[in-house]
Amino acid sequence: MRLILLTILTMIAFAANSVLNRLALTDGAMGPAAFAAIRLGAGAVMLAVLVLTSRRGGMGLFGPGRATGVLSLTLYMLGFSFAYVSLPAGLGALLLFGGVQVTMFAGAVIGGDEVPPLRWLGAGVAFAGLAWLLWPAGVSAPPLVPALLMAAAALGWGIYSLVGRGAADPLQSTAANFLLAAPLAVIVFALRPDQVSAQGMALAVASGAITSGMGYALWYAILPSLGASRAAVAQLTVPIIAMAGGMAFLAEPLTTRFVIAAALVLGGVGVSLMRR
């Protein structure tokens, strides 16, 4: 039960992160390079403070898998931000979470994890429900460059999650990843500067310090217990939670299509978690 509750809390943090990103990037007031740099910087500061105040001694930045974690986190943050300004929100979420499924299930199979048939079935049902809900009407194919950027973001997040299964100290590992990834994002912003707004900065700080930094640390904490394939399937609930949040806090309409798709997604996730 504790693992279930922590997983739900983590998915809520991810969904809130999606809402913050949408608010900051879709109105054109904040550029993707600036948003990613501030998001990573705010997360790095928050996590470093938590690490340094919760234990004695310094914080080691390097260790096994650190380079992979830093590069995959940077790839996700930058790819997601740049793709999000050009892709419809629903289609972007579908490409992102579809790519994450492929990456993490492939990692599970290659790593020798047991993936029961019911998990494959549940993942397929959940993703089909998500695809039916999110695919925009009248769109036959997404624009190529933004789609490739979102696919790169999905690959980055999938690898980042796979690496997290071996984190001995989730908080310290997440802090080190953010601290080392932030300068890379700053370099990208220096090479490709874009617009910055006060509202966008506030949303980027909230996203980086709370829903990203602390949410990702919690994600690293539960990944060893979840495993790659269960963690992949659980993330299919994030768009559903984000849309439900939009209905609750942004007065977005509740539709029959959403109710049916949510039932398919949550039912598929439930089936995938059954042992037999």
Name residues of the chain where pLDDT drops below 50.
Answer: none
Q: Where are the domains of the chain?
A: 2-117+147-228
Give the amino acid at 252.
E
Tell me how many degrees the CA angle 45-228-42 measures, rounded to the nearest 5.
10
Q: CA-CA distance, 250 to 43, in Å (whole number)?
A: 26
Predicted local distance difference test score (pLDDT) of residue 56: 53
Element (H, E) at 225: helix 215-226
Predicted TM-score of the model (pTM) = 0.88
pLDDT of 185: 94
Please give the pLDDT value at position 59. Answer: 62
pLDDT of residue 41: 94
On the 0-12 / 13-18 / 19+ scale of CB atoms within 10 A, 162 is buried
Q: Are 235 and 99 in contact (CB under 8 A)?
A: no
pLDDT in tens, 206-248: 999 999 989 999 999 998 888 888 888 998 888 888 888 777 7
Rg of the chain, C-alpha, whole Å: 18
Helix (H) or strand (E) holding 124: helix 117-134
- 135: helix, coil or strand? coil
Look at residue 187 in the predicted model and tell me its pLDDT.
95
- Do the beta carbons of residue 43 and residue 213 sit within 8 Å? yes
CA 10 to each of CA 5, 151, 223, 228: distance values in angstroms, whole numbers, following the listed order: 9, 22, 11, 15
What confidence score (pLDDT) does residue 35 get? 92
